[in-house]
Amino acid sequence: MSFASILALFATVITSVAFVALTIIMGWYLIWKAFLSKFRLVRELLGQGEAEVVNNRPPVNDNAEEQPAPSTHKKVRTD
């Protein structure tokens, strides 16, 4: 084998691996945006669910008299 054919072989292998990796990354991104990001379980598995829970808490009210009584309704899961 000549040097040019070995170089062409390496270039082909590197290009093929890069193409497959790019296809997988783009596919994951599209599936994430279209479908997976809407599920809380997947966000929590990736460590993104905790920040959202902290941001959804209502502000703390200093006046205890104005706070409504706790609700007796059961929470319903929407997952």
- Mean predicted confidence (pLDDT) in 39-68: 64
For residue 20, give both structure tokens: 């497959």
In the predicted structure, residue 61 carries a pLDDT above the cut 80: no
State how far the Cα of 29 lies from the Cα of 37, in Å rounded to an integer. 10
Predicted local confidence at residue 36, as pLDDT: 82
**Structure confidence by residue, pLDDT tens digits, 8-30:** 999 999 999 999 999 999 999 99
Average pLDDT of the chain? 79
CB 6 within 8 A of CB 14: no
pLDDT (0 to 100) of residue 53:
47
